[in-house]
Structure 1
């Protein structure tokens, strides 16, 4: 059959179409975080350096590495001023159903989510 694609290419293109971007992005973020190990340590205090890296690398994979927006919205302090820290903490921990924002509760403690919310509201840069 001249001009036709090999079956493996056709199957690969169809496979790609079955996975919406949000599932791929969520899966990639979760896989990267799992490889990096837990953010928390044995102490109950959040590790600011590790959480800052998490925000810029893992959150940045969807929200843009400069947090100016991408697949997800802008996370800079000036665009988040109308949010309460408790609301942001809830979004971080439980995600937003029906959107690419995944729940981070299995991977973060409440104290870490609170630290991230305050970090975003104060300006991360």
Structure 2
């Protein structure tokens, strides 16, 4: 019974981390138009690398979160921290890993 309680608690935390539906649409629009302008549509790469699930498979969430939040010096990748909080960035990473834009 304790195991079931733990799973329910973890599911509630995962749902709580998701932005509200309106913000989700804003984030998906940002992903498509802003990120897509460099990473391509679908995001198979362009000026920036591919964001397809198979390209992200070997990269940790922490690495991706850092790249999105802080940008990458010496590249065209800007920091998105002024526009995205950590929870929104993590939500976008989950969308990319699930194949957004395919």
TM-score interval w.r.t. the shorter chain?
Answer: 0.7 to 0.9
Q: Which residues of structure 1 form unaligned runs of 5+?
A: 1-43
Identify the residue that residue 50 of structure 2 maps to in structure 1.
74
The DSSP-based 3-state class of the residue aligned with 2:37 is helix
Where does structure 1 differ by over 4 angstroms across 4 or more consecutive aligned residues? Answer: none
TM-score, with length taken from structure 2: 0.74
Contact between 1:92 and 1:113, CA under 8 Å: does it hold in 2?
yes
Question: RCO higher in 1 or 2 (8 Å CA, sep ≥ 6)?
Answer: 2
RMSD of aligned Cα (Å): 1.4
Taking structure 1 as the reference length, the TM-score comes to 0.61
Q: Is the 8 A contact 1:67 1:75 kept in 2?
A: yes
1:100 matched residue in structure 2: 76
Structure 2: gaps of 5 or more residues: 1-16
User: SS at 2:87's partner residue?
Assistant: helix
Matches within 5 A, 1:25-36: none
> What's the counterpart of residue 98 of structure 2?
122
| Length, aligned pairs only | 82
